[in-house]
Structure 1
Amino acid sequence: MPVSHDSPGRNAVVAPLEATGITYLFGSFRLIPSQKTLLNGDARVLIGGRALEVLTALVERPGELITKKELMARAWPRSVVEESNLKVHIAALRKSLGESPNDQRFVATVVGRGYQFVAPVQRTVIPPELAVPPTHSHPSHNIPAALVRPIGRTETIEDLQGRLSRTRLLTVAGPGGIGKTTVALAIAREIVEAGAHDVWFVNLSRLSNASFVPHAVANAIGLVVHSDDIPRALAHYFRLRNRPQLVVLDSCEQVIEAAAIIAEQMIAAAPHMRVLATSREPLHAVGEHVFRLEPLDNPPDSATLTLQEALHYAAVELFVERAVAARGDFAPTDSDAPVVAQICRRLDGIALAIELAATRLDAFGVHELLGLLDDRFAALAQGRRTAPERQKTLLATLDWSHQLLPESERVVLRRLGVFPGAFSLGSAAAIVGDDPLAYAGVIDAVASLVAKSMLSANAGNDAVRYRLLDTTREYARRKLAEAGELDIVSRRHAGYFRDLYARAEDGWNRSPDARWLADHEPTIDDVRAALNWAFSAQGDAAIGIALTLSAIPAWIHLSSLDECRTRVEQALHHMNADTPALERQRMKLYSALAATALYTRGMVSQVDTAWTNALAIAERLGDKEYQLRSLFAACCGFVYSGQHRAADELLKKFRAIASETGNAVSISEGSRITAFAWHHMGRQSEARTLLEGVLAWYASPTHRSQLSDNHVKGREGTRSLMASVLWFQGMLDRAQGEAQQALDDANASGHTLTIGYVLVFAFIPLALHAGELDAAEDALVTLLDSVAKHGLILFDAMALGLHGAVRLERKDPAGLAMLHEALAQLRREHIGMRYSLFAGIYARGLLDFARIEEARATVEEALAWSEAHDERWYIPELLRIRGDLLAATDERDSQGAAEAAYQRAIEIARQQDALFLQLRAARSLAALKHRQGEPARAEQILAPVYDRFTEGFATRDLKEARTLLERLRTPPH
């Protein structure tokens, strides 16, 4: 019976009178009940309506125990619901507040009784127009704090900000070293401070391969992509953001075409998207506006120039500020002003050149410095005629700086050019040093280069990493080639990282800890550079192949599956197929290719070829572990594509090998995948028996898992599947309990792939079956955000289908278009998982909106598909929908066609032990018999099925069945 609120007690939680402007403040949050709004700072927090109602009830009485009964009455005022519903919304609420299950800063659980809001709460009343401040404060960004101020660029920065407000793609162009990055970062900081946009800085300078530009953008915004279509994942991410986005693409020149393409794709993704690019040349992209950044202003040539006059010019101001930073006692006088001005003019107002020159005042006076520049420019006057004038000047400055170094520092500087980005002192010493240049000499040289601003040092959590300025790195590599050392140092570099990653190859068999990631994530650019050299004409393919194999765990742990696949393909291409000694390497590469291609490309022929080759080699070598790896990839592929019969046949071989070798992990995983196939083939009882065994194994203290973080966590995946099986068997409360436990555990782990899996295969479908639309919508917010944020392309179509299902449950016709696209996407991407489920939901929606012929075609296509793929689990429901369609055009079923469809559905559901689907079909047939004037026959059909249920009586289908039975048993008046 519904809970009554006519006479609430003193402490009852009742809906308050909504006064405009009443605001509750706690932590960084602001709750405005009258506007159903929760803000974090001034940014709106996405939260479901039920969870928001629960939060309001808690903050209205901070410090008090609010019982579960009171909260359920508040959130569901006209319904009786199970306690599990409240748990779902408490979990969603805690996630919105940034709490983990063990971190109860706001909402504390009083075990067995209820919940308590434990943070201080301030209640305020503010004018209505101020109740919801702009939602653009506290943006997300990765913009570093400014270490120095951008001198002489104030008007330029203001001008560019104005331009950026009017155009969506703006490129700041100019020669190297002129200060493009400094200006772009200053603009980004201003926009972050304004709070209107999320702002992301993407450094493209370290990329040597244009294909990795999308990876760089994804990495900068924190997007973890499990697909080979990263631009689509990025577009999906930006389209779903509730705040305008600005992406700064820095140093585009060496990947200019790829940068132009990604810029166009990003601004096409969302109407409030902005891109600010820096490049030595325009991108020539559609919609691009170009701003040419000019050199810093220089004073005129005047012997009477005073220091005060000179400091009005940005070039001199920059020189003096950097000189004072390099030499604290530097105090220029009026007599120095004309000389400083001349130095700046000779450097053409190029910011980097001025900074490099200013740092040399630790060794020279301004007059000596000018003399050195004069000599150096004279030597370069006959340089390459085709080089741009400003590039000549900058190269001259770098060459001059290089000339001032002692020989040992010159050697170290040029050899450091082999690093594409940041590096550690240990790696520098190992690669740069040799017999004439001992370890201690390298250390001293690095320290000196840092002091002279030729090398940057950035302190991390527990280590210092070094990097060359981009232009300096280019100069160093040129010097390395001129010295004839490029190949030998590149070989050392590749060999060093091959050996470093070889020591981490056990990452195949265990999840990484934080230290492993901290050590290896910053070096992935070195791996890329080493592989580029190794597979070049001058390289060594053997080193490249070995490094590719050793780096596979890093790519997997960093979720760079597409890059992993590409590199594995490259290594296989360079292998000699006729060399027996390489068989084991080839086997490992094919095994990795099968897994990565499966997740990034779907079930394409490459997957079949890869696992077949890996299996053949493993069988020749008698390697049981890789036989299991190859078969497992094949079975997953068959399951994902909906080929359950093929998967079941291959799993027999997998289980036999696992049992023969006593591999407990493989036995467990094989049972789980087998249960997945059997569940969808309609073998519910057998699937449940397998799953119970797997869960018992996980409960044992000796279990272990070899799966990396790229895969769904086994226990949560098993619970999700068990929830679906139990639901179909009619154990509805137990099913929801398993789904909730799986979601709680997945949330506690923070493992996004597992969270998405639980939501897609268990929690949201069960909430829809139960009629708990608020819970489904709350969970869908999490799922859609996860798909967008982490690029879970595997779940993209299914998430869209579930979104459409929720909309249809709300009687929103927009759900039809969503489901139509979801089904098309599943077909395009060769994903057969639960195709029949979404087809059935789509057909039922078409029927609800009287699109009968389309609904009939959809059902018949889904039935044919189910038979062809042995995905028989949903056939009873499809037959029931067929019956509903027939009854819709012949209400009394004069031909008996609808009854035949219902009877067939009941029989198949009974054979499958799918009590839930049997109830649905029996209810439809009973309703038909009732319309035909046969209430006794209707009760005879429905009552025995309903009476078999022992739980789940608060769910929608059981309540509807009970209502129909009561109507059948009521004598007509």
Structure 2
Amino acid sequence: MTRGQRIKGNVPVEATSFVGRRHELTYARGLLSETRLLSLIGAGGVGKTRVALRLASELGRAFGDGVWYVKLAGLHQPALLPHTVANALGLRDGAADWTLETLAPHLEGKTMLLVLDNCEHIVDACAELAQGLLAASPELRILATSRERLRVPGEFAVPIPPLSTPSTTDAESATGDLMHYEAIQLFVDRASARCPGIEIDGRNRNEVAQICRRLDGIPLAIELAADRVKTLSLHQIREKLASRLDLLTNGPRGVPPRQQTLRASLDWSYELCSEAEKDLWARLSVFAGEFELDAVEGVCQDDQMASADIVDVVEGLLDKSIVVREERDSRIRFRMLETIREYGHDRLVEAQQDAQMRRRHRDWYESLATHMAEHWIGSEQVDWLRRFRDEHANLRGALAYTLADQVDAEPALRIAAALAWYWHARGALSEGRHWLTQALAQTDKSSQARIDGLRVNAFLAILQGDADAADRSLSEALATPEVENWPQLMASLDMTSGLQALLVHRLDEASKYFAAALPTFRESGGVEGEIFTSMLDGMALAFRGDRDAAKDRFAKVLANSDQTGDLWFKSYTLLFLGVVHWMEGHLDTATDLARQALRGKVLFDDHTGLVLCLEALAFFASSSGDWKRTAIILGAADTIWGKTGTTVDNFADFKSLHDECEAQLAPKLPKAALATMRQQGSELPASQAIAYALGEHNEPGAEATGSSTMGFEPLTRREWQVAENVAEGRSNRQIANKLVISPRTVDGHIEHILSKLGFSTRTQIASWVAERQNHPGPRQEQ
């Protein structure tokens, strides 16, 4: 073929239907009109080649000299890259020794799109070639696919994420169309081709959704799974995905070997990594879900991998699409797709490092949990609880490994006991008891860890009203002779015994326990024990009728909290002080204090604290004769109690006040109207219930607008941006493109928004945003 002959292109015809990717195509198409080098970046098997081919086909008419596809997967000698490009272009100059210098003149003056597919294994050569050809041919455009960027000046990179998958909520819903999720579309399309007639219905929708979720929305994995429908049921496919790398084999003939199996695709990515990156990839597989850089440094560093080098290696894995970066609450977190994590774990096992790395993982999270427990009193309490919310999967992993190891269960005892306030705030009382009960069953020596585990197990049982279990744990702990060797621990047991007495209205007994514990805490510098015990003693005094003494006790607690930066106990103390003022008839003061407490509990997302504040504000509304507000707040409290892991019945004095409030309310409203108002309150999203209880709206249907009296915003800044885009009708992909984040990050933000606001649909988010925009108020990043 002679130079100057018009070339139309060689883009391969697509053998199967193209599914989804509308937003990525739109975004990339727009960028190609502005940049001359566009790279599609993503993990192996995510569909970069299919997107590139579809984009090339759509743009064919825009390039008068053709669209040319250069397949590089089988090229392993970088020096032959110019030869490969020349062959793809149809240049047949047998005398030419194809180099950048000899190839470039053939592209001068050409209006052409060159598609370089699979650049990652010869990325330096591709970068050099692209830079040289672009300099030589001003009308040339290059579209590259790679697992990492070429790092050429002027390059634009478009992340190609996995296909959208349904959330757990959507998958489990009996209604709603799952076919708008791209992963579902692809699975059904490929499964129908393999086994005509397959459909999603009420019997199998959850199976298909779980298959797509377990495969992380990776197209290669989904196609390989769909290929099994002729021999396996959907249920069998889902069950066998526990070992997905072994199941997903035998891809179609004619595709490169690296796309024949999921494992081969990951092998390809693995071989492109440096030795340090390979090592860290394997080590990162011990993390469950997300993780932060300090955890990576703490778990993965050793003589072969210094802490100072880890940042660079993590960046390398980010560049190669092995690790994904996300931002939450102004913190950077990382994660791996589950298929990538599983592959890394296989490499870890092969290297015989699995047990060692799991011990390090366990030890680091034990250190994190115990550090939080030892430094609970201070200004970082909110950050601690948010961190542990995000680390929940890793904490479970550390606990499960320790107990499965059956060598030494004490680390599990220390972790589970250190998380006492986390179990409490999250309403995860049963889970905390589950781990403690298992760990206690595997230890029998009289250690400080065992006694503290018994104490926390009793504490959680008390909150759930399980008096028998609490008695057994406390009795065993107090009967241990060695307990006398640890005065603070003995004082903590007295405090816990006092709490048990307090919550069943044995007030004199409770005060005796508190009186026994307080001197030890004060003498030994146990600030947390002193604040907590003093607060509980104030409650006992209040419910015994000694209100002046109770207010004096609460005032000292508040002063101590202010001095130490504590907000957890302060917010509870403000609530109980408000109850005392209400008992004395100071309704305005009581309401103000309870609302201050409620704002504090919002920061912690402390379900028990939130619902106790709502109960109190319902009592106060009843005293003012506002029966509608009383009914609505009680209805909202009914719903939130269900998230606490306990009930109002387990708080004897609050239960008495609750019953009195119910009794006063019943005759004041018609039965049907009362039921309607209670139902109305119970259906309020949490944020609306809180705003209503704070007095920021006269009607519960209106949403919080952030008045000057309200110091919190339920959504973070980024979540608010996502919510605004949802309200404007954008899809997750469009939102990702606009905010320059991954679609999976958008998925996570929307799940958090739905959870925080108590919604179940995007329409509710849109209505909520519209209401906020009509009543603007301050928005605080949390």
TM superposition score normalised by structure 2: 0.50
Larger Rg belongs to: 1
TM superposition score normalised by structure 1: 0.41
